[in-house]
Amino acid sequence: MSEDSLLNVEDLVVRFAVKRGRGFGKNAYLHAVDNVNFTVKRGETLAIVGESGSGKTTAALAVARLVTSYQGKVELNGTDLLHLSDEDLRQARAKVQFIFQDPYSSLNPRLRASDIVREPMDSLGNMTETEKSERIDFLFEAVGLRPEQQRLFPHQFSGGQRQRIGIARALATQPDVIICDEPVSALDVAVQAQILNLLRKLQKDFGLTYLFISHDLGVVQHMCDSIAVMYMGKIVEYGPRLDIFNAPQHPYTQALLSAVPSVDKARRAKSKRILIPGDPPDPVNLPDGCRFANRCPAAQDICRRDEPELDNGVACHFPGAKL
């Protein structure tokens, strides 16, 4: 891990047992995350993108130890989180916090806003009651909420305001990494822009590090420094944001980017919509070779036979092939 890397994930595997057949059939395994590797630099944002079922949210949950990993390493500041327990794990949880997708279901409806923000400090922190109250006041101001709103319940807030409460809660323990799991997908477009601008401002003000999960490349384009594109549990392309947006190498990435609307007339004129035919393979019974081969217009025999390795930021036998 390089000196400026904060989070380092190596060979991460998350699998779920799936019963096959009736009665006493053998278990098969769905590899939701399959030998995934990525690094997040301190103060930067890495986006993990992909369609539903790609494994991006499961990878984030595994980093926060909210799902069990089968194997791999998740190093935060050089400490492997996957091998911690008891008090060490409790302290580590304070350093990795979540902003959830749905601000309507992720807040306890029976708690007042101030108590929602206080919860992680009660369970994961070592602050006095006075320090907690001062921290809550500070966070409400930081996320753009008024002091008198601390006494309100979640149903008394709009969707954007609820997400601001969720952001304040994530900041409560002064984490090293904040995992943003589709943080604006449930919000109106105008409110999305407000929340994204708030996240960028907080990152600048407090030096935050984000792991940003999204299926919306338009959002990712304005939020992230690096991008990892996932398909069927694998990272198929990984690199700096500008490199991926300007010259995508994997056919799947090219197809995703072709669907991103642009206000640039020149870009619209020279770009064409790339449609992905067919359906993804059975995740419990994956084919040989590349997992995208059955949907890829550029696939050849080697693609159906040999699985490509992630090399120079792309897992493809024919990187850069024009579709």
pLDDT at 321: 83
pLDDT at 68: 94
pLDDT at 4: 78
CB atoms within 10 A of CB 80: 14
pLDDT at 266: 57
pLDDT at 290: 96
pLDDT at 126: 85
Which residue ranges of the chain lie beneath pLDDT 50?
A: none
Give the separation between CA 125 and CA 132, rounded to whole angstroms: 9
Give the separation between CA 47 and CA 156, rounded to whole angstroms: 32
Indicate the pTM of the whole model: 0.92
Residue the block writes with tokens 């935050």: 208
| 3 state DSSP class of 93 | helix
Give the separation between CA 276 and CA 261, rounded to whole angstroms: 17
Alpha helices, H only, 158-294: 159-171, 189-206, 217-223, 241-246, 251-258, 265-270
Tell how strand 226-231 and strand 234-240 pair up: antiparallel
| Edge-first strand listing for the sheet containing 79-80 | 27-41, 5-19, 71-76, 79-80
pLDDT at 267: 58
What separation in angstroms does the CA of 43 have from each of 1, 160, 210, 252, 289? 16, 25, 8, 29, 37
pLDDT at 276: 81
Structural contact between residues 145 and 164, judged by C-beta atoms closer than 8 angstroms: yes
pLDDT at 218: 85
pLDDT at 22: 63
- Pair of tokens at residue 161: 């305001």
Phi first, then psi, for residue 230 (nearest 5°) are -110, 145
Give the separation between CA 288 and CA 309, rounded to whole angstroms: 13
Among residues 112, 213, 131, the alpha carbon closest in space to that of 174 is found at 131
Q: 92 Cβ partners below 8 Å, 6+ apart? A: 65, 76, 79, 81, 84
